[in-house]
Homo-oligomer: A and B are copies of this chain.
């Protein structure tokens, strides 16, 4: 596999015992994030097993050139340095956390994740949401436009739109049920009130590292050097508000009340062993236009993504969360992340370090891989039954939705993303 080094070595272990065999954060992962603990302010850290290494405190052990960026309470300036420095930091952290000679110096700088609060890793300048899940686009299109689920531009244009940056929040932020206008099909006029069709969308988020200047597009071949890492992203959606408001300028209040993300930036470097080929375009589909031709043989993300639901009744009964869906990201994505970045900047639009891009809902073509309740319940017409006997078409107050992602590949130590959680409150 291209570009792997000793930091990816499956034989590598850490002197932090909980890291070895850790579901999410073995030493092969080393995701960056922003945390606070013990009454102190926000600091940059790296996840290792059940702990966080405080990089502000570890500054003396790191390259002096990085000190300024790593001392900030957000990762934007660090990510702006680009993936070359990202790799160097990864090498150094891998060394510090594997070589027992550093244990005495580093161990005092570890903080238990259970004692820390995670925050947004970056100040999000702009948040863009794409729509590259072709099965999702088809499933949703069927409900909004039964005669033409997939519009003629879909197979040429990586469709995207701008979302709200101010309401992006780290995992754990309560989901306040939004109010808005909805127009029941039988009603003559719309009514205003709390959404009755509150939904989640299972997506991946892409963190932009190095930016580009206004007027200077990033080519599909250069795109990888602008992608710093990934997270889980829940694009909470009020379907009733969306159906009434979305024409002609797209979703707005149906989406901008909250977007939740998992707080750790899983770097593109850590995901290298899990790259897979892009989705094979079905026979008869057009080839991408030249500016979208991706010559990378393995631009896809070999990740399994999952959505779980925990209702208040399930929690009271001591039951674990119920899996709503489970599927491969690469099997869902009609366009690659490289293509997304190239398209986004093809008109000269400037991306900035710390910008967040959502992939769009990652539904596979299987009934067990649908990334939203809108799809799972067929637009609310086929409620699902939960192990408690409860039914759900959309989310109820007290429901908690949990997203996870896991990367697995032969000859590699699996890594995870942590969780993206949100509890619906009335």
Which chain B positions have C-beta within 8 A of A159? 245, 248-249, 252
User: In the bound complex, how far is the Cα of B160 from the Cα of A245, in angstroms?
Assistant: 9
The answer to whether B244 and A214 have CB atoms under 8 Å apart is: no
Best-buried of A156, A247, A257, A343 by chain B (most CB within 10 Å): A247
Is there contact, CB below 8 Å, between A348 and B176?
A: yes
State in angstroms the CA–CA spacing of A199 and B355 once bound together. 27
With A126-B165, A248-B151 known as contacts, the answer to whether A346 contacts B179 (CB < 8 A) is yes
Known contacts being A161-B250, A192-B290, A245-B157, is A352 close to B166, with CB within 8 Å?
Answer: yes
Bound-state CA distance A141–B352 (Å) is 34
Does A403 sit at the interface, judged by CB under 8 A? no
CA distance A244 to B159 in the complex (A): 11
**A416 beta carbon closer than 8 Å to chain B:** no
CB interface residues, A 153-192, toward B, < 8 Å: 153, 156-157, 159-167, 169, 176, 178-181, 183, 189-192
Asked if A157 contacts B181 (CB within 8 A), the reply is yes
- Which of B244, B247, B253, B351 touches A347 (beta carbons < 8 Å)? B253
**With the chains together, A181 CA to B347 CA distance in Å?**
9
Judge if A215 is at the interface, Cβ distance under 8 Å: yes
Interface size counted on chain A using CB atoms at 8 A = 63
Does A246 count as interface, using CB distance less than 8 angstroms?
yes
Return the chain B residue nearest A352 by Cβ: B166
A331-350 interface code vs B (CB 8 A; 1 in, 0 out): 00000000000011011111
Scan A239-264; emit 1 where CB is below 8 A from any B CB, else 0: 00100111111111110111000000
* Contact with A249, one of B214, B251, B289, B347 (Cβ below 8 angstroms): B251
Distance in angstroms between the alpha carbons of A78 and B191 in the assembled complex: 38
Cβ of A343: which chain B residues have Cβ within 8 Å of it?
Answer: 253
Decide: A349 near B157, CB < 8 A? Known: A163-B162, A166-B355, A214-B167. no
Instruction: List the B residue with the shortest CB-CB distance to A125.
Output: B166
Contact B153 A244 (CB under 8 A): yes
Q: Which residue of B lies closest to A161 (CB)?
A: B249
A165, B344: Cα distance in complex, Å: 14
Q: Complex Cα distance A248/B183, Å?
A: 19
Q: Given A166-B351, A181-B157, does the pair A346, B253 have CB atoms closer than 8 Å?
A: yes
Instruction: Collect the chain B residues with CB atoms within 8 Å of residue A351's CB.
Output: 166
Check if A200 is an interface residue, CB within 8 A of chain B. Answer: no
Cα(A27)–Cα(B244), bound, Å: 46
Given A161-B250, A256-B349, A286-B189, verify A214-B178 contact (CB < 8 Å).
no
- A131 on the B face (CB < 8 A): yes
Known: A126-B164, A189-B286, A258-B214. A144 touches B248 (CB 8 A): yes
User: Is A66 among interface residues, defined by CB-CB distance under 8 A?
Assistant: no
Interface flag for A102 (CB, 8 Å):
no
- Which of B162, B166, B178, B241 is in CB contact (< 8 Å) with A252? B162
Q: Which of B151, B165, B181, B238 contacts A125 (CB 8 A)?
A: B165
In the assembled complex, the Cα of A162 lies from the Cα of B344 at a distance in Å of 15
For the complex, what is the distance from the CA of A346 to the CA of B163, rounded to whole Å? 17
9 residue pairs, one from A and one from B, having the closest CB atoms: A250-B250, A178-B347, A162-B162, A161-B249, A176-B215, A249-B250, A253-B347, A257-B347, A256-B349
